[in-house]
Amino acid sequence: MPNYANDFSTFPGEFWSQGIGALNAGPAGSTSQWTSEVFGNSGDSGAAYVNVYYSSFSGGNLDWLISPMFDLSSGNHYLNFNVALTGFFSTNSTTFAADDFVTLMVSEDNGSTWSELYRWDSNNSPSASGDAIPEIDLSSYTSMTKFAFYAESNAGNIDNDFFIDDFQITTTSLGIEEASVSQFTYFPNPVNDVLTIKAQKVVEDITVFNMLGQVVKRQTPNTRDCTVDLSAMQTGAYFVQVSIGNTVETVRILKN
């Protein structure tokens, strides 16, 4: 399949669907509480959004957001996207209630059965500013595959907003991993023309990818402090992959 990207600027995106149903039952119907909102309740970048909250008035969540079918039978493919969690209608950091969670699900039989790939809960709540998930290698999926995001809340009294943005399946690894300590800083973000990178060690390689996973710029600065000229790039989101020694770290930036 070709590289695929959905930034949810048009919600939910072509051939995406919705449903309601318990995690072990799967989705039914065509509506849910998933909708459109700016990522992290900040800025102007569209995202998929669901309010995760239980009350006697609103009930809870059993809400599914379902991707189109993807043919992953030829070559290697990689899944990346960004998530964020904020307090209700705010940009404040928060955590899930003990009985609330969101999962990434996968199906290889057109949604008849689903398996859990990843879960966000009170033990690993995303940041309010947004986190790139650890890249998922899809090489073991060789049939027609679809993904879904499932949100559930039961009796918790924490009112949260969960966001998904920049969902993409690429044939090139973006090398996005969870890192406890970053080896460099970068600014500004969003960037108008020039991105500055300041590292603790020599930066050996910088690669810029667009949302389709295509390389749009590459340079080998071999210095700790360096700049990346993005003035010729179109407005939108990009991934900047920075290689320092044996470490490769990827960050998401916005180009104005």
**Nearest Cα residue to 147 out of 108, 100, 101:** 108
**Nearest Cα residue to 19 out of 9, 33, 3:** 33
Tokens 């290689």 -> residue: 243
Q: Find the angle CA(228)-CA(234)-CA(235) to the nearest 5 degrees.
A: 95
Please, what are the domains in the chain? 4-170 (2.60.120.260), 184-255 (2.60.40.3080)
pLDDT (tens, 9 = 90+) of the chain, 256 residues, equals: 669 999 999 999 999 999 999 999 999 999 999 999 999 999 777 899 999 998 766 678 999 999 999 999 888 899 999 999 999 999 999 999 989 999 999 999 999 999 888 999 988 899 998 888 888 999 888 778 999 999 999 877 899 999 999 999 999 888 776 544 467 878 888 889 999 998 878 999 999 998 888 889 999 999 989 999 999 999 888 889 898 887 788 888 888 8
